[in-house]
Structure 1
Amino acid sequence: MKILVVDDEPRHRRGMASMIHVLRPEDQVLVAKDGASALELVRSEKPDAVLTDIRMPSMDGLSFLKKLEDESLRTKVVMVSAYNLFEYAQAAIRHGAYDYLLKPVEAGKVEDVLRRIESQLVEESRQHSESEALKHRLSLTSSAYRNRLLLSWLNGSLTDMERKELETLEWMQGSGTVIFSEIRIGPGNKAGFDAGAWLKHLEQAWAEFGKACTFSLHVLQEEVFQAVTIIQTAQPAQERKPEIRRTVSSLEAEWAKHGRLTHGIGPDCRCLWTDAFQAYRAAQTANLYNFHESWSGILFHDELLPTRNPILLDGEKLFEAVQGRDAEAAIAMCRAAFVQLAANGHTNPNLIKECASLTLMRMKSRIRDYVDRQIGSALTDSALNVIPLCHTYAELMAVLEIRLRDVHDALRQARLDKSEIIVAECLRWIQENVKEELTLERAAEHFFFNPSYFSTLIKSRTGRTFSDHVTETRMRRAKELLAENRLKIYEIAAECGYQDTKYFCRVFKKQNGMSPEAYKHASFPQRSREG
């Protein structure tokens, strides 16, 4: 059956379409976002069944039903609603609805209603005589009917009668070429895109090479449109590559304002009837490789060459590079590896995506002990969700570069944070051991650093040397003890780590502008007032 799903909520629309694909993989599923666009599809595609939401903008489900009734468009309509109201169901049945389902819709109920519709359609078909069926069928000269047959043929769903009818087409017995075309609509450009005009333009362009027939394929992604062109011609496409490339260039210029247009050219067919199906698959595969911009949007199937096993990045070397002064070295290493992997556009894009995802997951594993979970989550999301949806090599490399820069920045910040913690720990260590012999070498050994590096680290983070911090801490302690007036000067010197009292006095006077004795007396009046 051909089934149309109508819902203004993209998530619900995709969910219902996917459910039907799972339940009935042999059926064709169309989608529409509201009643108005659904009405156009019913007029043009004549689906056997329609599952439509009731409440939608532009034209709701009940208005859609009324339009079908007014135009005598026959299709089985199942209303789907989140509202369990008798009035809705009553109005739907009054306008000719086949059934009424409540959201959330269960797979079993969908399967049951579609099975009942199919049974009824079979029964209705039996009730018509062979002559009546033939009278209402579109003739083979009708392009719409012909295209439907061709699409069923490529999908492998032709009935025996349809196969016999298609086989009678004279041009199907001749030689020719099969072309697979795809246009991905850019953000914000769908409103101005006319799929019908695009198909017509394709057919007119390819007609330059022979008798052309272009028809659309059903694609679940709303921003992607695909078409197949079958050209009956005695001249092999391989002999007309320059002309075909010029045609593609002209088409690209015409549709560039809407999105990226690409083509895959299948092998020449000695007989379209026997060879076109395999040629179609080959053309579809060739178009997949237009992921590589190096093909300029067109790839002939015979241009693909076998590639060697993938060359993976050395995870340790990449990790070392990303810890450098900037991220450029890591990015350059990544670019070089993927350029080699891409093999001038001959490597399967899915393999490249797998390697890109693996690179990010290995990086996540390597940095997990250094940075917070947010960066790891971003790497995982890119590996599992973003990279698989990349449509071009450039888009994929942009994702890798962004993630590598994020990792570089995170590692750099982690180093800065770690340095601050170490310096703070060192200053606390000085304070706690102020009586001891405090040397740079002893401190560096305590914190497991090279003395020279440790000295530079402290100076860069605080602006003062290790010795400056030791002296400052000892002088602060000395002033506290002098203010308490409990100990003698030589005892205070020892408490502050000075075994030579005279040296202590010189250092104190240099730092504070007066001797320890003078500082003690100067602080006495203040203590008296406080007392």
Structure 2
Amino acid sequence: MKILVVDDEPRHRRGMESLIRNLRPEDEVLVAKDGASALELVRSETPDAVLSDIRMPNLDGLSFLKILQDERRRTKVVMISAYNLFEYAQTAIRHGACDYILKPVEAEKVEFVLRRIEEQLAAESREHSETEALKQRLSLASSAYRNHLLLSWLNGSLTDLERKEIESSAWIQGGGIVAVSELRIDADSRAPFDSAAWLRRLEQAWAEFGEAHTILIEAPQEGVCQAATLIRTPRLTPERKAEIRRMADTLGAEWAGHGRLTHGIGPDCRSFWTEAPAAYRAAQTAGRYHFHPCWNGILFHDERLPADDPLVLDGEKLFAALQGKDAEEAVEMCRSAFDRLAAGGHADPKRIKEYAALTLIKVKSRIRGYVDRQVGSVIASAALNEVPACRTFTELMTVLEARLRDVHHAIRQPQSDKSEKVVDECLRWIQENAKEELTLEKVAERFYFNPSYFSTLIKSRTGRTFSDHVTEARMRRAKELIARNGMKIYEIAAECGYQDTKYFCRVFKKWNGMSPEAYKHAAYARKGREG
């Protein structure tokens, strides 16, 4: 991975560069002294990640980030600042920053952020490859290619050649409305889903209002299927809207066994050719507001009202409530603030998620020194991963409330009790997974600890090393299997996590004072005497 460090302070710049080289010696590290020189390097070197200070001469970090966003750069940006200001974090995340780190920088935090960026880039690369493969398959079938052209037209991404090709299509003549439908398939749905049948049924339902043509926008992926329908229909009147609502209710009931079906409706188009792309975007925007359950599955673009009020939530009062005896005070405080922010379903879901993520980041910053890093990591993961993935306001509030309860519990529970509980859980997990490849790093990551700290914690609590516990668990398992007299030594070795049978035998003898064969004979002899 190629990483760019941006800081106008030479000492900080050298320190961050050295830290990253020690953490990730295989990565390439570039440095820049200000935002202007960093921008040149991004354009010429295309780094995968940028760790940038905020306050710098020539071009400050937030302006630098805004330019990268405007240029649609894939580079992941992490903002670093000595100022714990909510406004800075809010602006950084709004302009596309993937994280916000406070100085002095902790090595564990940098390592965690860079590893997460690496995973995101790998996932995006796979998604890009899959998208390219899909495009090739679309061009093989004429009907699929026609839909591809129509979708490109709606998205405003037609080439000159494609534009000439689609101008003759009958579907761009006349006017009507554009509807975007989305089916979110329930994870526990057992009913087989046929996307082709769903498209046919959509087209049939919309045909009640005029000639309809349905295009698949997004095939079932992560439980979501989307389609756009162009309907040649007279102007939308209140009566016609009521009829469409009744149709949507009926259609939603039909597909309720699969999941939740919603529709966003764009404005009237006098001419599809000139107005349908804008109407399509308006329908998509309306569809996003089904994040709020209050719309009951259908929303016309003109039903949304402006809602730009900020979140009113006192961070210090929230933290005081988190320190109290009952977490419900903090939960209710947060719930009330976000209910007001939602403005009866009119607030932009993206904006609500931004405020939710920033609230958790602010809580994480405030609890530093009160709880261990495991809790902080959970809060950060919720802000960066769980919150953006929420599909509904209800789901978002569930995440927020759960994380607030985590913080309340962590603050109220003595540190020593927490450490002992984690160690007990770890040892139990090692025993249950003795067959797997168990490394300190792997187990530490599972329990949200730095490996070095985790190793010290186990040794201080038990008097034995992590490796000793792994070996003990495997030897205990090996003796149980040998005593059963139903497996060969090499099979027992594999069952206990050793691929090398000779090495297993050496470890067994060192641990038990005799070889596996000798132990087997001794076990048989004991059984004979007892029998």
TM-score for the superposition, normalised by structure 2: 0.52
Q: Distance in 2 between matches of 1:237 and 1:200?
A: 26
Instruction: After TM superposition, list the pairs within 5 Å mapping 1:464-483 onto structure 2.
Output: none
Shift of 1:251: 1.4
Shift of 1:167: 2.7
Q: Does 1:372 align with 2:372?
A: yes
**Aligned residue for 1:408?**
408
> Secondary structure at 1:175's aligned position in 2?
coil
Q: Distance in 2 between matches of 1:238 and 1:28?
A: 43
8 Å Cα contact 1:17/1:29 also seen in 2: no
Q: Distance in 2 between matches of 1:164 and 1:401?
A: 54
Q: Any idea what the Cα deviations from partners look like across 1:205-256, whole Å, max 9, x if unmatched?
A: 1111110000101469442211000001123265511111111111111111
Q: 1:271 to 1:373 in 2, by over 3 A?
A: same
Amino acid at match of 2:241: K
Instruction: After TM superposition, list the pairs within 5 Å mapping 1:107-126 onto structure 2.
Output: none
8 Å Cα contact 2:191/2:258 also seen in 1: no
Q: 1:238 to 1:213 in 2, by over 3 A?
A: farther
Shift of 1:165: 4.3
Q: Distance in 1 between matches of 2:357 and 2:301?
A: 27
Q: Does 1:246 align with 2:246?
A: yes
**Aligned residue for 1:398?**
398
**Aligned residue for 2:197?**
197
**Aligned residue for 1:129?**
none
Q: Does 1:18 align with 2:127?
A: yes
8 Å Cα contact 1:262/1:287 also seen in 2: yes
8 Å Cα contact 1:318/1:333 also seen in 2: yes
**Aligned residue for 1:73?**
none
**Aligned residue for 1:210?**
210
Q: Distance in 1 between matches of 2:302 and 2:382?
A: 33
Query: Unpaired segments of 5 or more residues in structure 2?
Result: 1-118, 419-531
Amino acid at match of 2:134: L
> Secondary structure at 2:369's aligned position in 1?
coil
Of 160-169 and 304-313, deviating more is 160-169
Q: Distance in 2 between matches of 1:147 and 1:239?
A: 31
8 Å Cα contact 1:307/1:346 also seen in 2: yes
8 Å Cα contact 2:311/2:341 also seen in 1: yes
Amino acid at match of 2:350: N
Q: Distance in 1 between matches of 2:306 and 2:124?
A: 38
Q: Distance in 2 between matches of 1:306 and 1:174?
A: 31
Q: Any idea what the Cα deviations from partners look like across 1:394-415, whole Å, max 9, x if unmatched?
A: 0000001111111111122139
Amino acid at match of 1:337: A
> Secondary structure at 1:313's aligned position in 2?
coil
Q: Any idea what the Cα deviations from partners look like across 1:139-174, whole Å, max 9, x if unmatched?
A: xxxx55542331231233434454344333445321
**Aligned residue for 2:227?**
227
Q: Distance in 2 between matches of 1:254 and 1:216?
A: 19
Q: 1:161 to 1:300 in 2, by over 3 A?
A: same
Same amino acid, percent of matched pairs? 58
Paired residue total: 300
**Aligned residue for 1:30?**
134
Shift of 1:286: 0.7
Instruction: After TM superposition, list the pairs within 5 Å mapping 1:322-341 onto structure 2.
Output: 322-341=322-341
Q: Distance in 2 between matches of 1:362 and 1:11?
A: 24
8 Å Cα contact 2:371/2:415 also seen in 1: no
Q: Any idea what the Cα deviations from partners look like across 1:344-393, whole Å, max 9, x if unmatched?
A: 11111111111111111111122122112111111111011100000000
Q: Distance in 2 between matches of 1:265 and 1:363?
A: 38
Root-mean-square deviation (CA, aligned residues, Å) is: 2.9
Shift of 1:310: 1.2
- Structure with higher Rg: it is 1
Q: Distance in 1 between matches of 2:333 and 2:412?
A: 19
8 Å Cα contact 1:172/1:232 also seen in 2: no
Q: Any idea what the Cα deviations from partners look like across 1:31-61, whole Å, max 9, x if unmatched?
A: 9xxxxxxxxx95xx454xxxxxxxxxxxxxx
Q: Distance in 1 between matches of 2:355 and 2:164?
A: 47
Q: Any idea what the Cα deviations from partners look like across 1:160-193, whole Å, max 9, x if unmatched?
A: 4543443334453212000011112221437711
Instruction: After TM superposition, list the pairs within 5 Å mapping 1:506-521 onto structure 2.
Output: none
Query: Unpaired segments of 5 or more residues in structure 1?
Result: 1-9, 22-26, 32-40, 48-136, 419-531
